[in-house]
Amino acid sequence: MVKLAQRTKRIDSSGIRKVFALAANMTDPVNLSIGQPHFDVADEVKEAAIEAIQQGRNSYTLTAGLPELREKVKQQYLTKGIPDLGDVLITSGVSGGILLSLMALLDEGDEIIAPDPYFVMYKHLTNFIGARPVYVDTYPDFQMDADRIEKLITPRTRAILLNSPGNPTGVIYNEETVRGIVELAARHDVVLISDEIYDSFVYEGELISPAKYYPNTLVLGGWSKSSAMTGWRMGYAYGPADLIAAMINIQMYSFVCAPSLAQHACLTAMDMDLTPRRDEYRAKRDRIYNGLKDRFNVVKPGGAFYIFPEAPGGDGDAFVKKAIENNLLIVPGSVFSERKTHFRISYAAEDRTIDRGIEILQRLSKEFG
């Protein structure tokens, strides 16, 4: 028996992966669990990757990534009216960016404030490096609140983590919320980490990034969701130059660099018009919300491709177990929260699959109601 490092005991097997494992043993499951687009990478992007391979662009890039891709990311934000934050690092997915940022900012025992519900990696990676996640209870509307955040700030607080549009809720922070958090962060001199991986899936209005108002913001984004490149592991971090420099040093001795051929392909991906996909997913959002709102207590998501209903009877684990027994794959809310009252649906699926899921959920709601 190998003696493992104590840090390995601070993380648990992903509850989402456990659902994926169940799917492998089911016949034609109604799968509304997977957090990735149901469409494929655009042909133009595939061709750009193939061309990069054929032209021999298969070597390491600079640790920070291709200069032209880094500059293109920065220009994307400048065009949106966001001031120059400093520098850009191309990361191995947003997950890589999360890990690098936490390692650069948090010493053992330090604290980071995050919303509950949260993306699963926030909790487990913070615990893994020996820091402490502190949760803001955002139920029932899933909006962050500066007053509630301030009560959680201590001398060990180093950062506040935002996720808008959010996973698992699909909720987008409004401008009042963002401005309030920015003012709070400035008063306490803490960094804001803004996970904006779903910024291409905003269905009404515009995404308000804290980077617009606060220079000590680290924006995390990427192409996994917008371009369906989840397996290509392509993300970026854009923020203060000294923070990015520290993250580059850590990447040098860990990931080394993001995949080179995918970096070349992302130059093409950034020129693609995403409006048709956004319109398609807005219709899917409406389809799932309208199918559930009369039977479930549910907040209408403003972005991403998730919806987070409350389970009838208040036990999301029990409800999901029953759903899986009825050939429907969804994810218990306890994977994303310190509560177990809700469950997550991903509507990144064909309309036929969404409709089958709605029918099963409506039927189960009567049993649990």
Q: What residues does each domain of the chain span?
A: 6-41+274-368, 44-269
Mean per-residue pLDDT over the chain, rounded = 94
Both tokens of 175, joined, read: 């401008």
HSE-up (13 A, CA, CB side) for residue 198: 28
Mean pLDDT within 325-349: 96
d(CA 61, CA 88): 14
Residue 23 above 70 pLDDT?
no
pLDDT tens sequence across 152-207:
999 999 999 999 999 999 999 999 999 999 999 999 999 999 999 999 999 998 99
DSSP codes, 47-83 = HHHHHHHHTT--S---TT--HHHHHHHHHHHHHTT--
pLDDT of residue 20: 59
pLDDT of residue 19: 62
pLDDT band of 18, cuts 50, 70, 90 = low
pLDDT band of 367, cuts 50, 70, 90 = confident
Both tokens of 105, joined, read: 């900012």
- CATH number (3.40.50.300, 3.30.300.10, 3.40.50.720, 3.40.640.10) of 44-269 reads 3.40.640.10
pLDDT tens sequence across 223-269:
999 999 999 999 999 999 999 999 999 999 999 999 999 999 999 99
**What CATH number is given for 6-41+274-368 in this structure?**
3.90.1150.10
pLDDT tens sequence across 83-124:
999 999 999 999 999 999 999 999 999 999 999 999 999 999
Please, where are the H alpha helices in 189-252?
Answer: 241-252
d(CA 273, CA 268): 11
d(CA 113, CA 93): 22
